[in-house]
Structure 1
Amino acid sequence: MIEVKFYENKDHYDDVMYVREDVFIREQGFSTDKDEIDNHCTHILFLDDNKPFATGRIFNEDGDIIIGRVCVLEAYRGKGYGIKIIQELEKKAKERGATSTILGAQCQAKEFYLKLGYEEFGDIYFDEYCPHIHMRHTF
């Protein structure tokens, strides 16, 4: 049974990090995925029979609502869970009074976000070795 849960700060952090480390560190080769933002954000976690398989986070930064660390374990890709993560995090942003969300997309995932209504802004930047672009979705 698929469940979707929200957690504040570092509640259920081991489950969140299980997914993020599998995708970002083991699969994509980043050296780390932990940062201070995890201390003050809201995580979304998708579970299949209590096993975590997808996650993302949302937080406020300088008046903007930021979505980040969106990832889905390989076995669950292509089933719409990435879209569902974004939709749920955007609902959470609207509950907080936001009229838009911002994210830093890996350039290889840019098309995914464009299809969801996001638009690019700014210059390409690098997170470790990986090119990223800022994107915004206005509701």
Structure 2
Amino acid sequence: MTQQSITVKEISAAAELEQAFAVRYEVFVQGQGAPAALEVEGNESAVHFLALLEGRPAGAGRYRQTDKGFKLERIAVLEACRGRGVGDALVKAMLAGLRGKGTIYLHSQLAAAGLYARNGFVQEGQQFTEADMQHIKMVYAG
């Protein structure tokens, strides 16, 4: 098996931002039925990331500073790219600039909790519903 090339970058160009939004739209709106208006909420105050697999858009995510710390959000990997390390690379890149800056947390869909646990997050509290899907709050423990 050959090693696939995964690159994650903090977005600085409009074209990259559009690619990230397209990934998120495909995963959340088309794939999971999330309302389009909810999916884009908060974009203007966030720091966005794009993951490339073999040079092609494969994943996206963002974080925002809230009154509770830094919240990782909208982490999405295209279905055809899952299971190849894209999600792990994305989370690691997002965390790299946040370590030591305060609390880092996220609201994980239940199916994705293993990804975050592998990357140092622990569950806090009970399950809850967000965007008509079950989630758990997870906090970065390093």
Give the equivalent residue in structure 2 for 1:67.
72
State the distance in 1 between where 2:139 and 2:53 align. 30
The number of aligned residues is 136
CA-based RMSD = 2.2
One-letter identity of the residue aligned with 2:22: Y
One-letter identity of the residue aligned with 2:101: A
Pick from 51, 56, 59: which aligns with 2:61?
56
Contact 1:9 1:39 in 2 (8 A): no
Q: Which residues of structure 1 form unaligned runs of 5+?
A: none
One-letter identity of the residue aligned with 1:26: Q
Quote how far apart the aligned CAs of 1:10 are: 6.8
What are the Cα deviations for residues 116-135 of structure 1, in whole angstroms up to 9, with x where unaligned? 22111123221221011110
Q: TM-score, normalised by structure 2?
A: 0.83
Contact 1:2 1:49 in 2 (8 A): yes
Give the equivalent residue in structure 2 for 1:34.
40
Quote how far apart the aligned CAs of 1:71 are: 0.9
Quote how far apart the aligned CAs of 1:49 are: 6.1
Describe how 1:1-139 pairs up with structure 2 within 5 A: 2-7=6-11, 12-32=16-36, 33-35=39-41, 37-48=42-53, 51-62=56-67, 64-94=69-99, 97-139=100-142
State the distance in 1 between where 2:114 and 2:55 align. 31
Q: TM-score, normalised by structure 1?
A: 0.85
Quote how far apart the aligned CAs of 1:109 are: 1.5
State the distance in 1 between where 2:48 and 2:24 align. 12
Q: Percent identity?
A: 26
State the distance in 2 between where 1:18 and 1:61 align. 25
Q: SS of the counterpart of 1:93?
A: coil
Q: Which residues of structure 2 form unaligned runs of 5+?
A: none
One-letter identity of the residue aligned with 2:133: C
